[in-house]
Amino acid sequence: MWNSRETPGEPVSSFMSGIGFMCRPAIGRGGVQMRKTTQGASRYSLVAVSILLTALFSIHAPAAEVPRIDPAELKEMLGNPGVAIVDVRAEAATAATRIPGSVIEDPAAYAEWSKKYPTDKTIVLYCS
């Protein structure tokens, strides 16, 4: 690639070095010549930066750590009116065992049933 400032056959040094100059053909008296333009490079740089920022900010921040409790802690919570125990196992309706006082909810319908529980209660979800 060459332009009007360089001899034909010599590479455009800024293009080859990756500086970001793009070459655009220009038809002149001597035939097709290449001349440097930074407009295309700016456009490509803007697109690259936009894609990078989109990718960077689309990564979701991890949710807050969900506290886990052991069976002894859960046993102490049984019967407390400020605690709702929700069984979200897929096979909960047919399960042979269940935590006493727990309510069975469909895990796939979380958006629907989650609204009925008050926000001032401690909600314990169990799935195993």
Q: What is the pLDDT of residues 20-29, one digit of tens each?
A: 445 555 555 5
Contact 19, 36 (CB under 8 A): no
- What pLDDT was estimated at residue 58? 63
- What pLDDT was estimated at residue 83? 92
Domain boundaries, the chain: 13-58, 71-126
Contact 23, 36 (CB under 8 A): yes
Which of 9-13, 49-53, 56-60, 90-94 bottoms out in mean pLDDT, i.e. has the lowest? 9-13
Residue 73 phi, psi (nearest 5): -65, -40
β-strand partners of 103:
86
**Cα(22)–Cα(30) distance, integer angstroms:** 21
Q: Please, what is the average pLDDT of the chain?
A: 72
- What pLDDT was estimated at residue 61? 57
